[in-house]
Structure 1
């Protein structure tokens, strides 16, 4: 993984992104993947799963703000939230900042990721001991199939559709998600890059369209994922992510964010023209 202590993530066979590593903090192999935590120069601590960058301390807030606060400020009263994946803890950390949330269930398949982040990246993992977070080490696909619980918001904080995350992009999974959402539930999922993975976005949105009455895509900017512009899918049973969103509620919450804010919430759904064209017929207005 290291050449002169640089870490490089290669994307397909034509792109690489490199970060200077100051030291390796953790390196292990679980039954699912290799897990590494390194201290980088300029981006703080970094988590890699199978050599792919998941999180850096410098820009994790962009991802975690946008995957959690967008659905939680659209839903009028989210009390029960489910996070699938999200082993670094950053998404659950943001979810419980909402006072309405009584319980955040987090189902992560790989205990090694959780333990490595608890030990080495407390910036994201520090909230995992909070009493409102109910951590389950297990398979999220199995969990949504079997649970009798209903959730207001479900957040699918997954890696790319390879290895253990592959079923999280399929229709059977989203039918189970639909069934364990409340009648006005929302699901948001990591939605890949429009620059490099539009075909994955298209197949994910086709799946969501087959299951949910309303489907959307929104974007955010980050430092570490290939291309910098990244997306989330937003699917709901009844709420529109902009017309059912109240900017005043963000102000009234008294919460401060490093990335998310009320004007950005709506702006994130304004997509570049090439994305609108490529996803034509798959996203609602």
Structure 2
């Protein structure tokens, strides 16, 4: 409790671990809450939770409550899962795909992710999982970073098309992207231009954080 109080004055690091996939994983008390970070960016809770909550609010909490199955590509500490379960009170299936087993271990120990009964955690590469899955989803949340880097496959047309085929009618994709330079702005505009406008509606949300931009895709029934 003392550390929590002092964290309003200065961040207090309580855990640090090297990871083969994520390089550095840190758990820190900051402004009265536990957050999960990599060496250079926020991975879960803190600003990242605010960003994804903003995206979910744009889709609409009432819309999300009617969904049957949500897919999360990139789990980290599970802050978006907590938003879905604790704030929106979503009751149905959540499948979370995370490539880094060290990250899941930390999420379970510090953020009690393993206590969420409706969450099925899969340790796998998101690209491989998307190719293999036979399920359809009402919402696919893409939140994949390697520190400040986003893997190139996320923006390739093949992957975008595959993700879109996994959506049920009226389903959504919520894609959290990192913008560090003008090339990333161009990349995002190109990404949106390659989504079939006859089958899908796309939009970029106004940024609430300087370096994050949310893209929403909706499949038109």
- Normalising by structure 1, what TM-score? 0.62
- CA distances 1:52-87 after superposition (whole Å, capped 9, x unpaired): 222475545412312433335474732111010022
Shift of 1:220: 4.6
- CA distances 1:183-226 after superposition (whole Å, capped 9, x unpaired): 22210101223xx434324323423332342210113535xxxx
Q: 2:215 aligned to 213, 221, 233, which one?
A: 233
- CA distances 1:136-158 after superposition (whole Å, capped 9, x unpaired): 11111111112110001111012
Q: 1:113 aligned to 103, 107, 120, which one?
A: 103
Distance 1:183 1:44, change over 3 A: closer
Shift of 1:38: 4.1
Q: 1:203 aligned to 187, 192, 217, which one?
A: 187
Shift of 1:164: 7.1
| Structure 1 vs Structure 2 CA RMSD | 3.0
Contact 1:47 1:53 in 2 (8 A): no
What are the ranges of 5 or more consecutive residues in structure 1 without an aligned counterpart?
Answer: 1-18, 240-285
1:217 paired residue number: 204
Q: SS in structure 2 opposite 1:28?
A: strand
Contact 2:97 2:124 in 1 (8 A): yes
From the CA coordinates, give the structure whose radius of gyration is larger: 1
What are the ranges of 5 or more consecutive residues in structure 2 without an aligned counterpart?
Answer: 1-8
Q: 1:94 aligned to 50, 72, 83, which one?
A: 83
Stretch deviating more after TM superposition (99-108 or 72-81): 72-81
- Normalising by structure 2, what TM-score? 0.78
Distance 1:133 1:169, change over 3 A: same
Q: SS in structure 2 opposite 1:191?
A: strand
Contact 1:155 1:187 in 2 (8 A): yes
Shift of 1:116: 1.5
Q: SS in structure 2 opposite 1:66?
A: helix
Aligned pairs for 1:40-119 within 5 A: 42=31, 44-49=33-38, 51-55=39-43, 58-73=46-61, 75=63, 77-97=66-86, 98=88, 101-119=91-109
Distance 1:173 1:72, change over 3 A: farther
